[in-house]
Amino acid sequence: MTGPELAGDLPVNTITRPYRGLSVQDVDIPLTPERIGDLLRGREIYRRTAYLALRNGPDTALVAVRPESTEPLMSPVAEYRVLAGPEQTVFIQDPATDVGNATSLAVTALAHARPGALAYLIQGKFEHVNFIWRPAPVRITVTEVIPPHPPKLLAMAEQVVRYDEDLPPIEFRLDAVDVDDLMAANRAGHYLLPCRGSGLSPTEPTSFLDTHPDFDPAWLLIGCERSRQFHRHFYGSEPRAVDLCPRARSAGDGGDQSGLVLTKCCLLERGIEVEPNRAVVPWGSNLDEVRAALRTLCGLSPVPGPAATHPAPITQPASRTQPAASTRAPAEAGPA
């Protein structure tokens, strides 16, 4: 389980991983730092608990905690820190939210954004609860050819985000290389396309290079360098051509040159290539390659590594010499 740098402010997009590290407890005390401190002195928590969400009616406070030991099942609170009080914490119930997924948490949190809020506690699918701290999704531009709709690379990237629970929240923006627009902007009596695409309905005579059609010296190739290589192999000549390569576009030829970019190239046959702020996958990429590209863009290792077992030390020790305040909940319910 990863945890925050508890001696300072939490990084944006912090969530509990895995979310069993967050324990939600009903209490009957005012959620002030002083009364929370009284509650936690001498209080036992589960050895994997890193955060407490304390609730008193409509009010919620988020507290970071560290047990005295992670060896026994339950251990007294050794340190704690009140991260957000009721004025800075929003509690949301949304049964559609996957609380193990940072993007899902961020989408829900931002839909309920409140000025001054830092922590968003969300009760989602299966009535499980997690929080996200100051949600700020990472923006990634996906440069891809259309049709089909939706573009395949964008659909694969969204699929990866749904299952990779290490990724930060991500917001995708499509930078589309539209074949219909390229054909409309470059009129020809006969077009040659690399292959038949889903959803493509040309109004002019159109052939497809992968079917090795009879040569027409007048056709216009809407394709990339690989298509020109096939044309030279099949027909021994260089075609008139308009480039549709997403990689070339993302490098500055009409594309978005700012921020992080995910794109594809058929000259890359396996694996990924990483450049400053850009990751390239093969044209026929698989989910593992798209996942590695997204993780690399987000500063993670391409292959998931082992999780940390507990957060870093925090700053406020809890003395067990003072009695715990009353509460309506058991001392600790254990993992969710």
pLDDT per residue rounded down to tens, the chain (336 residues): 333 334 458 999 999 999 999 999 999 999 999 999 999 998 999 999 999 999 999 999 999 999 999 999 999 999 999 999 999 999 999 999 999 999 999 999 999 999 999 999 999 999 999 999 999 999 999 999 999 988 999 999 999 999 999 999 999 999 999 999 999 999 999 999 998 876 787 888 999 999 999 999 999 999 999 999 999 999 999 999 999 999 998 766 555 556 999 999 999 999 999 999 999 999 999 999 999 999 999 999 987 765 544 444 444 545 544 433 333 333 344 443
For 102, phi then psi, to 5°, come to -65, -40
Residue 44 is inside which H or E element, if any? strand 44-46
Sheet holding 14-15: strands in order across?
14-15, 129-133, 119-123, 89-93
How much is the pTM?
0.84
CB burial string 32-52: b at 16+ within 10 A, e below: eeebbbbbbbbbbbbbbbbbb
For 8, counting Cβ atoms within 10 Å of its Cβ (0-12 exposed, 13-18 middle, 19+ buried), the class is exposed
Q: Which residue type occupies 69?
A: S
| 147: preceding bond cis by omega (within 30 degrees) | yes
User: What pLDDT, on the 0 to 100 scale, is given for residue 310?
Assistant: 43
Rounded to 5 degrees, what angle do the CA atoms 113, 116, 118 make? 75
Q: Is 155 left (phi over 0), alpha (psi -120 to 50) or beta?
A: alpha
Backbone φ, ψ for residue 75 (5° rounding): -150, 145
Residue 334: its pLDDT value, please? 42
74-84 and 51-56 strand pairing: unpaired
